[in-house]
Amino acid sequence: MNTKKRIFIGLSNTAGYGSRLVKGFRQSGIKADLYLKGEHPFKYDDAFTFQLKKFPNLWLNRIYKRYFVLKCLFKYKAFIFFSGITLLDNFNDLRLFRLFKKKTMMLFLGCDLQQPELTFREDIPFSACHNCTQEYKDFVGCVPDKKIIRTRKAEKAADIIVSHLAFSDALNRDYLKIIQPINIGDFPSIIPEHNNKVPVILHAPSNFGYKGTKYLIDAVNKLKNEFKFEFRLVNNVTISVLYKEIEKADLVVDQLIQGWFGMLPLEAMMYKKPVVCYVRDDVLKQLPDDFPMINANPSTIYNVLKELLQNQSKWKKIGEEGRIYAEKYHDARKVAESYAHLLL
């Protein structure tokens, strides 16, 4: 790849996607920079990020934004944005980039695209929308009518759309299936064994409602009368602390209602931990045959955990298969190269 072809990435870093993608590009010999509006609370690696300037005066902000867009126009060959958010209102920056033959990509990561009315169906018994509180809607800026308008504008303005399988029914045009990137070098090649006296089950939700935590806690409380194990609930910690918790755990339970998987299951798999996660049937059908996660939802989590606790000898093999899967399909370098092939 030509190292002079620099890529702009911004303006968010949900689950560290941007940080991982920057590393993936750089591992491939492609220059890339990540621009953020503020520091992520989980403190992902920001070695290649830039904080966008803010001015107290509204007009100064508008002037600076336009100056910054022009600066980027000449500096970057291609642009990757997340969640329907770009530098100028109404995607005017994307239209300008297209005018100068600069390609753009829009990645939708979840709530930024998901439409509640499309999830309230008989074949989708569980979803984040089913459990979503007004507090969380306000936090992520979920206003369905505005989201669909923004999505349609993004579909017209961006050259390439990338989306999760679970939410792609909100799109009107062709899209690429999203692949979450993992930086293989961030994880030890040899995973130390802790030999816990009793198995440690870890759950690390960024949001209790969004991950279906209450269903897991109900199941855990019932199982405590039948088995000896330690349940660890870790919430909103830095990425370095999270990795230490994963390393000490024997089993990781992610979300039970979303119907798809994000970064945490892959991080756990890189530590060779078996992962329990809810993946919808329609999504599962489109995944590779060697997909190793253990499927569970609110209706099945008790029985799934019970069977796992009864058959702990299988955990090591499942964990090893998970590491192989993550390296095979989610290497950030390979993900970045696939994007670069389309953009450069």
Domains of the chain with bracketed CATH: 7-183+331-343 (3.40.50.2000), 185-329 (3.40.50.2000)
Please say if the pLDDT value at position 5 is more than 80: no
At residue 333, φ and ψ (nearest 5 deg) are -65, -45
**Euclidean distance between CA atoms 20 and 342, whole angstroms:** 18
Tokens (6 digits) for 31: 């220059």
Closest CA to 315 of 247, 252, 259, 266: 252
The percentage of residues in the chain with a pLDDT greater than 90, rounded to a whole number, is 72
Reported confidence tier of residue 36, pLDDT bands at 50, 70, 90: confident
The reported pLDDT for the residue numbered 3 is 44
The reported pLDDT for the residue numbered 1 is 42
**Euclidean distance between CA atoms 226 and 319, whole angstroms:** 24
Q: What is the mean pLDDT of residues 33-46?
A: 69
**Euclidean distance between CA atoms 216 and 235, whole angstroms:** 14
Per-residue pLDDT tens over the stretch 294-318: 999 999 999 999 999 999 999 999 9
Q: What is the mean pLDDT of residues 29-35?
A: 93
The reported pLDDT for the residue numbered 187 is 95
Peptide bond into 58 cis (omega under 30): no
For 230, other C-beta atoms within 10 Å of its C-beta total: 15
Exposed (0-12), middle (13-18) or buried (19+): which is 195, by Cβ within 10 Å? exposed
- Which one-letter amino acid corresponds to residue 153? K
Q: 3 to each of 25, 28, 212, 242, 320, how far by Cα in Å?
A: 10, 9, 44, 34, 36
Q: 30 to each of 1, 230, 329, 344, how far by Cα in Å?
A: 7, 44, 20, 10
The reported pLDDT for the residue numbered 2 is 45
pTM, two decimals, is 0.91
The reported pLDDT for the residue numbered 261 is 94
Per-residue pLDDT tens over the stretch 43-89: 556 555 677 778 888 888 889 899 999 999 999 999 999 999 999 99
Beta pairing partners, 203: 233
Q: Is 332 helix (H, G, I), strand (E, B) or coil?
A: helix
Per-residue pLDDT tens over the stretch 269-296: 999 999 999 999 999 999 999 999 999 9
